[in-house]
Amino acid sequence: MRKPRIGIFDFACCEGCQLQIVNLEEEILDLLGVVTPVEWREAMSDQAEKGESFDIALVEGSITREEDAERLREIRARAKFLIALGACATIGGVNKLKNNFGMNDVKETVYGEAADMPHLETMPTKALHEVVQVDYMVHGCPIEAAELAHVVRTLLAGKTPTLPAYPVCVECKLKENACRFEFGEICLGPITRAGCGARCPSEGSWCFGCRGLVDDPNTQAAREVMAHYGKTIDDLRGKMLLFNSK
């Protein structure tokens, strides 16, 4: 029987999520036993023929140019399942910071006097689902490698992967961490999707929301927490800009 074919693609990003795939180490060898990687620029010298199809396309990075959007549509057309990999792909991530400014200002800041050159065209950042249909999302900056392995294995078994639909606070409290609000910080744990094991609060930092908003965030509870610690909703919004700009 033919092994399922996987392609791995990147757009605007640091490629840290692909590195997490490499970091799967022994698990990736197991996975490679059940799939055939046919396109992976970062790790393969031979690439698939143009137009070849995939069972699963893993796509990291954000869409920041019209030519990126075209390429993403072409990948979508070739893939049975398309999985967005990491915050840049699932929510736009840090790349969406630029959406808080005019595009000309952004280009002048980055390219200076060369900003008008036609090949430096740019547009407001989009997450993948804002351009094409995305079947599954593996959140985080970077992704949790084990979560990706779970999603791929579940799909290959013909089942539907599910990801945590509760906030980071749940995992944080299970770990009995001291709450960052007690240290005068603003933590996005109450409104952010869990699945990272409360990685940041467990290391003594506030959650900066890299896994995106949890489904139906309990905004009233978040308001109450902010009020209890003498913070405002504007304080919260300010913290959200880093990963959750519109």
Cβ-proximal residue to ligand SF4, closest one: 189
CB-nearer residue toward ligand SF4: 82 or 200: 200
Cα 62 to chain centroid distance, Å, stands at 9
Least Å distance, CB 5 to ligand SF4, is 23
CB-nearer residue toward ligand SF4: 54 or 208: 208
Least Å distance, CB 195 to ligand SF4, is 8
CB-nearer residue toward ligand SF4: 43 or 77: 43
Q: What is the DSSP letter of 226?
A: H
Least Å distance, CB 60 to ligand SF4, is 5
Least Å distance, CB 240 to ligand SF4, is 11
Q: What is the DSSP letter of 45?
A: S
Scan for tokens 């985080």, then name that residue. 140
* Residues in touch with ligand SF4 (CB under 6 A): 13-17, 60, 86-88, 93-94, 140-142, 168-169, 172-173, 177, 179-181, 187, 189-190, 192, 196, 198-201, 207-211
CB-nearer residue toward ligand SF4: 17 or 236: 17
Q: How far apart are CA 74 and CA 27, in angstroms?
A: 30
Q: Which residues contact residue 125 at a Cβ distance below 8 angstroms, ignoring those fewer than 6 apart?
A: 12, 62, 63, 64, 92, 95, 96, 98, 99
**How wide is the angle at C-alpha 163 spanned by C-alphas 157 and 165, nearest 5°?**
150
Structure tokens at 49: 């023929």
